[in-house]
Amino acid sequence: MAAAAAKIAPSMLSSDFSNLATEAQRMLDCGADWLHMDIMCSHFVPNLTIGAPVIESLRKHTKAYLDCHLMVTNPLDYVESFGKAGASGFTFHIEAARENWNELIQKIKAKGMKPGVSLKPGTPIEEVYPLVEGENHVDLVLVMTVEPGFGGQKFMPEMMDKVRRLRQKYPSLDIEVDGGLGPSTIDAAASAGANCIVAGSSVFGAPEPAQVISLMRNRVEGVKAAW
C-alpha cells in the first residue's frame, strides 16, 4: 500500500483577511498543496473566525483544495452550507460528534466533500479508530498539536505519539498535524508519520514562504520510506 503523499496546507488564519483571494493565490504560487481554513464558532473554542459565506467568496477566486477545519459545537448544522459554498474537505471534531459521527460522515460525502476527524490534545487517539475503520469512514485524521482556538501557539511534541500510532495502524491514511508547525518542528512531525502539514505564522511570517513550504514538503518526502 502506497504511503500518503506530502501535502502542505498554509493556514489562512494567519493571512491578511482583507486580501484573502490574493493571499490564497500567493500561497499557491509558493507551492502550497491545500489551503487550510479554520472555522470557529466561539462556543467549541473561545474565538470566532469565518463561516460559509467567506468560503463561498474565496471559491469564486480559486480552484484550490479548501481544507476546512470546523471547530464548532454542532458540525451537522454546517454540512449543507459548506457543501454549497464549495468546501473541499470538511473536518469535524470527535469531541463534538461522539453521538452522530456516522450520520455526519454520510452527509459530508453526500455533499461532495471529503470527511475528516480532528481531536484535541486531551482526547485519546483510540476515539477516532472506529471512524477510520468503519465502512463509512473518514479520509483524514487531524491531530491537534496545540489547543484549538488561536494561531501562533507552541508545538506540543508529546502529541507525536498519537501520530505514530495512527501511522502504524493505517499506512496510507492522510494524517494531518496543526499547531506550531514550521522548520524547527517539521522533523518531529514528519518522522512520526504526518503527511499533511498545516502551518500558519511560520509560512506567512517568513521572508520567503516558498522556501518554508518546500523545506517542509522535502522533510516529509524524505522520511516516508521509514514509516
Which residue in 49, 56, 55 sits closest to 72, CA to CA? 49
The SS3 call for residue 195 is coil
**Any catalytic annotation for residue 38?**
yes
**Any catalytic annotation for residue 178?**
yes
- Report how far residue 201's alpha carbon sits from residue 151's, in angstroms, rounded to the nearest whole number: 8
User: Is residue 4 within 8 Å of residue 194, measured between CB atoms?
Assistant: no
Which of 33, 38, 67, 174 does the annotation list as catalytic?
38
Which of 33, 67, 174, 178 does the annotation list as catalytic?
178
Give the residue numbers of the binding site: 11, 36, 38, 69, 149-152, 178, 180, 200-201
Give the residue numbers of the binding site for substrate: 11, 69, 149-152, 180, 200-201
- Report how far residue 197's alpha carbon sits from residue 178's, in angstroms, rounded to the nearest whole number: 7
Q: Around 227, how many Cα atoms within 13 Å sit in the side-chain half-sphere?
A: 33
Give the residue numbers of the binding site for a divalent metal cation: 36, 38, 69, 178
Active site residues: 38, 178
